[in-house]
Chains A and B, each alone.
Chain A
Amino acid sequence: MANGTTIEIGKEQAPARPGEERGTLTGWFLELLYTVDHKKLGIMYIGTGWLFFVVAGIMATFIRLQLAGPNGHVVGPETFNGLITMHGTIMIFWVAMPFVFGMANYVVPLQIGARDMAFPRLNAFSFWLTFFGGCLLLFSYVAAPGLSGSGPAPDVAWMAIAPLTARAFSPGSNVDYWSLSLLVTGTGSITGAINTMVTIFCYRTKGLTLYRMPLMTWLSLVAMFLIILFIPPLSAAQIMLTLQRYLGATFFDAQSGGSAILWQHFFWIFGHPEVYVLVLPAFGVISEVVPVFSRKAIFGYPAMVAASVLIGFISSGVWAHHMFTVGMNSFSITFFAFATLVISVPTGIKMFNWLATMYGGKIRLELPMLFAIAFLFQFLIAGLTGIMLGVAPFDWQLNDSYFVIAHFHYVIVGGIVFAVFAAHYYWYPKAFGRMLDKRLGLWHFWLFLIGFHLTFDPQHISGILGMPRRIYTYQPGRGWDLWNLISTIGALFQGLGAVIFVFNLIWSYWKGKKAGDDPWDAWTLEWATASPPAEYNFEKLPEVKSRRPLWDLKHPEDPDWKYE
C-alpha cells in the first residue's frame, strides 16, 4: 500500500455470522454459553439490554395506564410503587448499562486494532454476573412476598430511600433483592470496566496513541473510569443497608442516632456519576456518526477530549444537587449549584463542536444521522432543563416533581436511547453483514420521536403545576389530567416504534441488504474488517498514522497525518 498504512483484510473465507457458527440450535446455545469473544459478548450485552427494555417498558406502560386519568384503578398502590421502583432500577442497570458495555465491548477493540479484550474470560464472567443479577431482581416478583403490605418486588423507589428501607418499614425481603442483585451486577460492571480500561491502555495497535483514538473509545474510557470509582459507593451503601436489615447495624437508623441523609449522600455519590457513565458513550456514538454523515472530520478533537475528561471529573462533585431540598446549609447548596452549572460549559463545548462538524459538510440524512440529529435537539433541551434544576431555588420548587421526571427521561430516552438507536443503525451492518431495513427504520424513527415528545413534553407542565413524583394516583381538579392523558398516549406510540425496531433487528438478519465491509464510507478501523469481522478481527494488526486511518487510505493525496 502506498503511504505506510498496512491494513489487510482476511477474506479467504467469509466469517460465520454471529448465531450461525455451529449450525444447530443446540450449537447456537452452547456458543452463547461458552463464548469469550468480545464481539459475541457485546451482542449478548445488547440483547440483554433489549430483553430488559421490553420488561421495563411494559412496566412503564402500566404506570402510564394507571396515571392516564385521575383516581385510576389499573393497579393498586403497592403494585404501583413496585412498578416504579423496578422500572427505574431495571432501565438504568439492565438496559442502559448493558448498552454501555455492549457497545464498548463490540466497538472498542475493533477501533483500537486489537484482537479482543485484555481478559476475555473475565469479560464473559462480567457479562454473566450482569445477566444473573437481573434475573435475581426479576425473581423477586416470584419469591419475595413480605408482610403487612410490602409487596413482592422492591417498592422503595430506585434510590431506595432511607428510612423506608429499614426492616421496620419494609419487612420481607424485597429490598434485599434490590441490594443483592445490584451488588452482583455492580461487581460485573466493575470487572468489565477494568477489562475495558486495560484493553485501551495496553492493546492499542502500533501508531494509535491515546490522542489518535476514536472518540467512541475515549468516551468509553472516561465512562469506565467513572464506573470503577463510583459503583463502590453504591455497593458500600448497600452492604451497610443489608447489615442494618439483617444484623441490626445502625447506619441509617434514626433511633440510634443514624442519619437517613447519609444514605442519600452515599447513593448520590454513586448516582450522579452513574448517569454520566450512561451518557458519555452516547456522546461517543454521536461523535462517530455526525462526522461520517456530514463527511467531515470531527471539529476540535482536542477540545472534545478535554471536554469529555472534564465532564467526567466535574461529575464527581455535583451529587448533592439531588439533595437541595433535604435541608443542607446555604454554603453547600451554593457550592453544588455552582458545580452543576459549571458542568454545562464542557457539555456546551461538545454541542458546539458537533454543530461545527456539520457546518460546511454534506449531510446525509440516513437513519443513524436522523437519530443523531434528534439526539442533538433533545439533549439540548435536556441540558437546559438540567441547568434550570441546577439553580437551587428553582429546584426547591421542582425537585421530586414531574419536571424532574421529564428532565431525566429527556436525557436518558431523548438522549441516550436515541444515540443507542443511532449506534444500532450504524454498526448493525458491521456486526451482522446486513443493513437494517430503511423503511422499517423510518417508521421506527417517526413513531418513537412522536411518542417520546407526546409522553415527556407535557410532564414538564404537570411538574410546574405541582404534580409530585411517585404517586399512584391523583385527584381531579389539580390541573394534571390532560397532561397525563397525553403522556399516556405517547407511551403507546413509543411501544409501537420499539416493536417495529425489534422486528427490524430480527427481519434484517435474514432479509436485509448485504452490507459489505464499509457501507457508510467511514474512517475508523472497525470498517477495515469484514462484516461480520473474523473472530480474530484483523489478520495483520494495522499500523496507523492519524485519527482516521481509513481516510488516509482512501485519500492518499490528502491524508490526515499531514494536518494533525
Chain B
Amino acid sequence: MVLVITTESALFIIFVVAYLFYIGKSLIPPYPHQVLEFPWLGSILLFGSSGTIMVAERHLKRGAIDRFHLWWAITLACGVGFLIWTISEWLKLIYKDGLTIATNLFGSTFYSLVGLHASHVLVGAILLSIILVASLRGKIRHRHHEHIEIISWYWHFVDCVWAVVVTVVYIISAKS
C-alpha cells in the first residue's frame, strides 16, 4: 500500500503542479476569487471520516465487530456525503457560474485536480462498501485487522490529498 500511495502521489503532484503553474494565467473569467467558497462541509465530512475510520479500526482490534460495523458505515456515509457535496459544488460552478473544464486554464486545472481526487474518493468508497458487505456477512474477524488497516491507509491518503487540494485551490489561489 505504501508503494501504491507513492505512485498515486506522483500522479497527483503533476496535477497540483499544473494548477499552481497556471494560477493567475487564465485569460477570461470566471476566476477563483469570483466563484470559490471555502469547502467547510466537504472538509469536515472527509477529515471526520478519517477519524471515524480510526475508531472503527480500534473496535475491530478489540473484537467489537458490531461497533466496527457502525463506525465503518459512518465512515462510508461521510465519504459518500463528500461525493454528493462535490457534485453539488460542481453543479453550481457549471450552471450558475459558467465554469467548465473548457472555459479557461482555471477550469481545466480545477476540474482535473478535484476530479482526480473525487475519483479516488469514489474508489475508496467502493472499497469501504465491499468491506462493509463482507463484514455484515460475517467474513471479517479480529484477525483481519491488519488487512483493514491497510485499506484505512488508502483512505487516510485520500484525506491527505484533500488537504493538499484545499491548501492549493482554496487557500493559495483564493485571491487570484
A positions within 8 Å CB-CB of B: 190, 193-194, 197-198, 228-233, 235-237, 239-240, 243-244, 247-251, 256-259, 262, 266, 269
Which residue in A230, A249, A262 is a CB contact (below 8 Å) of B102?
Answer: A249
Let me know if B167 is at the binding interface, CB within 8 A: no
Q: Which residue of A lies closest to B21 (CB)?
A: A262
Bound complex: CA A244 to CA B101 (Å)? 9
Beyond A193-B3, A228-B10, A237-B14, 15 additional contacts (C-beta under 8 Å) are A194-B4, A232-B8, A232-B10, A233-B13, A236-B14, A240-B15, A240-B112, A243-B108, A248-B101, A251-B109, A256-B105, A257-B25, A257-B27, A257-B105, A269-B14
Q: 22 A-B residue contacts at CB 8 Å?
A: A230-B10, A232-B7, A232-B10, A235-B11, A239-B116, A240-B112, A247-B101, A247-B102, A248-B100, A248-B101, A249-B101, A249-B102, A249-B107, A250-B102, A250-B104, A256-B104, A257-B26, A257-B27, A257-B104, A258-B105, A262-B18, A269-B14
Interface size of B by Cβ–Cβ distance < 8 Å?
A: 27
Bound complex: CA A233 to CA B9 (Å)? 10
A250 touching B108 in the complex, CB below 8 Å, given contacts A194-B3, A198-B3, A257-B25? yes
Are A243 and B112 within 8 A (Cβ)?
A: yes
- Chain B contacts for A259, CB-based, 8 A: 21
- Chain B contacts for A240, CB-based, 8 A: 15, 18, 108, 112
- Chain A contacts for B176, CB-based, 8 A: none
- Residue of A231, A250, A259 with most chain B CB atoms under a 10 A cut-off: A250
Are B3 and A232 within 8 A (Cβ)?
A: no
- Chain B contacts for A228, CB-based, 8 A: 3, 6-7, 10
Bound complex: CA A240 to CA B17 (Å)? 12
Q: How far is the CB of B154 from chain A (nearest CB, A)?
A: 13
- Chain A contacts for B25, CB-based, 8 A: 257
A-B complex: 3 closest residue pairs judged by Cβ atoms: A248-B102, A236-B14, A232-B11
- Residue of A194, A235, A251, A269 with most chain B CB atoms under a 10 A cut-off: A251
- Chain A contacts for B107, CB-based, 8 A: 249-250
Bound complex: CA A170 to CA B108 (Å)? 20
Q: Which residue of B lies closest to A190 (CB)?
A: B7
Bound complex: CA A266 to CA B109 (Å)? 14
- Chain A contacts for B100, CB-based, 8 A: 248
- Chain A contacts for B109, CB-based, 8 A: 251
Q: How far is the CB of A312 from chain B (nearest CB, A)?
A: 14
Q: Which residue of A lies closest to B15 (CB)?
A: A236
Are B10 and A256 within 8 A (Cβ)?
A: no
Bound complex: CA A446 to CA B40 (Å)? 70
Residue-by-residue, is B10-41 near A (CB-CB < 8 Å gives 1, otherwise 0)?
Answer: 11011100100110011100000000000000
Bound complex: CA A197 to CA B6 (Å)? 12
Bound complex: CA A193 to CA B6 (Å)? 12
Q: How far is the CB of B56 from chain A (nearest CB, A)?
A: 26
- Chain A contacts for B108, CB-based, 8 A: 240, 243-244, 249-251, 258
Q: Which residue of B lies closest to A194 (CB)?
A: B3
Q: Which residue of A lies closest to B11 (CB)?
A: A232
Q: How far is the CB of A459 from chain B (nearest CB, A)?
A: 34
Q: Which residue of B lies closest to A236 (CB)?
A: B14
Bound complex: CA A236 to CA B104 (Å)? 19
Bound complex: CA A231 to CA B102 (Å)? 26
Bound complex: CA A428 to CA B26 (Å)? 58
Q: Which residue of A lies closest to B16 (CB)?
A: A236
Bound complex: CA A239 to CA B115 (Å)? 12
Bound complex: CA A235 to CA B116 (Å)? 12
Q: Which residue of B lies closest to A195 (CB)?
A: B3
Are A229 and B10 within 8 A (Cβ)?
A: yes
- Chain A contacts for B101, CB-based, 8 A: 243, 247-249
- Chain B contacts for A236, CB-based, 8 A: 11, 14-15, 18
Bound complex: CA A230 to CA B11 (Å)? 9
Bound complex: CA A193 to CA B21 (Å)? 30
A239 touching B10 in the complex, CB below 8 Å, given contacts A194-B4, A256-B104, A257-B25? no
- Chain A contacts for B11, CB-based, 8 A: 232-233, 235-236
- Chain B contacts for A232, CB-based, 8 A: 7-8, 10-11, 14
Q: How far is the CB of B1 from chain A (nearest CB, A)?
A: 10
B76-124 contacts to A (CB < 8 Å): 100-102, 104-105, 107-109, 111-112, 116
- Chain A contacts for B105, CB-based, 8 A: 250-251, 256-258
A229 touching B14 in the complex, CB below 8 Å, given contacts A240-B112, A243-B108, A256-B104? no
- Chain A contacts for B104, CB-based, 8 A: 250, 256-257
Q: How far is the CB of A556 from chain B (nearest CB, A)?
A: 40
